[in-house]
Amino acid sequence: MPGRPRDTLSVWQVVELARHPDRPYALDYIRRMAPDFVELHGDRVSHDDPALVAGLGTWRDMTVVFFGQQKGRNLAERVSRNWAMMHPEGYRKAMRLARQAAKFGFPIVSLVDTPGAFPGAGAEERGIALAIGQAIMGWFEIPVPVVAAVIGEGGSGGALGMAVADRVLMLENSIYSVASPEAAASIVWRDNARKVEAAAQLQITSRDLLAMGVVEEVVPEPEGGAHLDHEAAARALEAVLWRHLEQLLPIPTAELLQHRYERFRYIDSLLQAAPDFGPKVEPRGAAGNPAER
Amino acid sequence: MEGSPAEAPGPTPAVPSQRQPGAGVAVSPEGGPGGWGPGRPPRPAVAASGGRLPPIALTTNCPSCGVGLVPETLRDQCYVCDCGHHFRMHGDAWIALLADAGSWHERWADIRPHDLLEWKVPKAYQETIDQARAEGLNEAVRVGTATLAGHPIWLAVFDFRFVGGSLSIVAGERLTRSLEQAAAARTPYVLLAASGGARMQEGILALMQMAKINAAVGRLHQAATPYFSILTDPTYGGVPASLALLADVNIAEPGAAIGFTGPRVIRQSTYADLPSGFQSAEFQLRCGQVDMVVARTELRARLAHLIELYLRPLRGRR
């Protein structure tokens, strides 16, 4: 399709589109998908994290639990949402409501849009690393279908903590990266001004991730980018989310969880295919595990 | 190198156990007469290290107390200065310390890193890999089976020398395979963490290792397999945010820096004044993230004791 952004944009232009201040945010999608959306708050330990919107609503005649990392549209909202950078309480809230969804059998939709988990002293004191680790581990035990979509920025572990799902989608002009281009430049060059070069090397666009087998599908955006037509972007995302969720609904729980395990277990199958990577499954007791003797 | 331990403040120990009360080469905790109930024989003493440690690169003076270091002396006290400063150890030293002499059986050492992203600047990833290999290093994580004070274990050791101990596809694969096998055989799993985080040069697939590993950690827990994690200096980013804090017992080394975001980035992004000792092992103990801070000279005895406690058959149940 000539003239489409994916044919003409540089990697850095995609980064700028993914961060565009007019880009639709999680609530712009959730409220269109489920106009009766009810937001729920709090981790039931100490805080509510406004960087993560969570709640339930009716979508396609089902009750669905929605999560969304929510950026702010204006400065005041950005401050109150902490630029969608979650604290430990956000991941604990997510796990609380994911378990609640499991109790009632509600499917889960998670919209990912964060520069990363919050890099602050308070987050460290309250255990941000553990909270992310527990969330990543916890998602593998949630016995209902989970579909995630990166709608803007998928920044590092802070994004992964909300993106362990049966299917992971990406909007066309979104990015998903091991670290933000600035952080990667700071780590590799010790200079975060090299962010453009870092972004190009990191392979963070939706096409890169589709090619690597990290996401199942890329959702095309309206001509020029999602920020130009929220309504059309939401319609496109809704249709693809439903197509994937519909396939997951009939799968028996044990099979669903085993597939989720294997989705991530062999996500690096590009490398697994290398001859020196060895067999995927070793014959049991082939070599000296003392416990097997 | 002229500075001798005799110039160190405090008594000069012949064995480390005299230096730190309760710490030492041989520890035999309670058990036997004195406690309540029928006396049990004292548990056999556990040596501070399974074998003689290999040499490690040292500065000439201790960065904490300034004393001149004598490499041979330091090597005999597990690279812990008389002042209590714990020097960073590489993977080989950790294997020699934790595993009984001759028991280490490395697995999947032949899996190699690949330059999937064709990373070129500022330094080609292939060149980074080749250099590390030329120095005899085999990736940031090595795994294998061993015994610790006679107990069979799976042992996974990060090596900070290989691209900062960064979590890579090979590291993730070795960790996942070993976690799966430990769960299948219910063999206690011992992790030695030292890492700067995920490896940038492997991009998103390095990040995905966190999910792959944690899925396997979940299965280890479901199999009720005891899991012990030792967090050493430094452990940051994707490693504590994946498997390193998810153990049944999290053990930190004294003074180790442990956290998600490093202090430099926190200062840059929040302009916060960070208190001294921020993200230290002791800080993480206060914040409830680790169960204990254990001196390296005591570590092996503590692990042996924990393995006994966790593996003891349940009476009247199951």
Q: Are A148 and A169 in contact (CB under 8 A)?
A: yes
The ipTM is 0.92
Q: Are B242 and B214 in contact (CB under 8 A)?
A: yes
| Residue B105 domain boundaries | 89-311
Asked if the model's pLDDT at residue B20 lies above 70, the reply is no
Number of domains in chain B: 1
Classify residue A274 by burial, with Cβ atoms within 10 Å: 0-12, 13-18, 19+: middle
Partner B contacted by A184 (CB < 8 A): yes
User: For residues B253 and A186, what is the distance between their CA atoms, to the nearest angstrom?
Assistant: 28
Among residues 245-274 of chain B, which lie with CB inside 8 Å of chain A? 245-246, 259-261, 265-266, 269-270, 272, 274
What is the number of residues in chain A?
A: 293
Q: What percent of chain B has pLDDT over 90?
A: 75
- CATH at B187: 3.90.226.10
Partner A contacted by B166 (CB < 8 A): no
**β-strands A108-114, A52-59: how paired?**
unpaired
pLDDT digits (tens, 9 = 90+) for B252-304: 999 999 999 999 888 888 888 898 899 999 999 999 999 999 999 999 999 99
Q: Which domains, and CATH codes, for chain A?
A: 5-292 (3.90.226.10)
User: For residues B117 and B249, what is the distance between their CA atoms, to the nearest angstrom?
Assistant: 37
Q: Looking at residues A199-205, what average pLDDT do you find?
A: 94
Q: Which residues contact B221 (CB under 8 A, 6 or more apart)?
A: B227, B246
B29 within domain boundaries = no
B255 within domain boundaries = yes
Q: What is the pTM of this model?
A: 0.90
H or E element: which one contains B229?
Answer: strand B227-236
- Within 8 A of B145 by CB-CB distance, chain A residues are 288-291
Q: Please report the pLDDT score of residue A41 as a whole number.
A: 98
Across the interface, which of A160, A214, A284 has its CB nearest the CB of B210? Answer: A160
Partner B contacted by A262 (CB < 8 A): no
Q: Are A110 and A150 in contact (CB under 8 A)?
A: no
Contact A120 B269 (CB under 8 A): yes
User: For residues A28 and A88, what is the distance between their CA atoms, to the nearest angstrom?
Assistant: 24
Contact A127 B105 (CB under 8 A): no
User: For residues B81 and B297, what is the distance between their CA atoms, to the nearest angstrom?
Assistant: 11
User: For residues B169 and B197, what is the distance between their CA atoms, to the nearest angstrom?
Assistant: 13
Question: Hunting for tokens 């403040």 — which residue is that?
Answer: B9
Q: Looking at residues B172-201, what average pLDDT do you find?
A: 97
pLDDT digits (tens, 9 = 90+) for B298-314: 999 999 999 999 998 77
Contact B214 A136 (CB under 8 A): yes
User: For residues A102 and A210, what is the distance between their CA atoms, to the nearest angstrom?
Assistant: 29
Partner B contacted by A143 (CB < 8 A): no
Residue of B nearest to A120 (CA): B266
Question: Hey, how many other C-beta atoms are within 10 angstroms of the C-beta on B38?
Answer: 7
Q: Looking at residues A224-252, what average pLDDT do you find?
A: 97
To test the contact with chain A by mutation, choose from B208, B212, B225, B265 the residue with the greatest count of A C-beta atoms within 10 A, namely B208
Q: Please report the pLDDT score of residue A268 as a whole number.
A: 87
H or E element: which one contains A245?
Answer: helix A230-248
B33 within domain boundaries = no
Q: What is the mean pLDDT of chain A?
A: 91
Distance from CA of A230 to the nearest CA of B (A): 28
B289 within domain boundaries = yes
CA-to-CA dists, residue A55 to A30, B48, B185, B275, angstroms: 10, 52, 41, 37
Q: Looking at residues A31-49, what average pLDDT do you find?
A: 97
Q: Please report the pLDDT score of residue A6 as a whole number.
A: 52
Q: Looking at residues B37-46, what average pLDDT do you find?
A: 75
User: For residues B243 and B228, what is the distance between their CA atoms, to the nearest angstrom?
Assistant: 10
Residue of B nearest to A127 (CA): B289
B27 within domain boundaries = no
Q: Looking at residues B221-232, what average pLDDT do you find?
A: 97
Q: Are B186 and B220 in contact (CB under 8 A)?
A: no
B146 within domain boundaries = yes
Name which residue leads in pLDDT, B177 or B59: B177
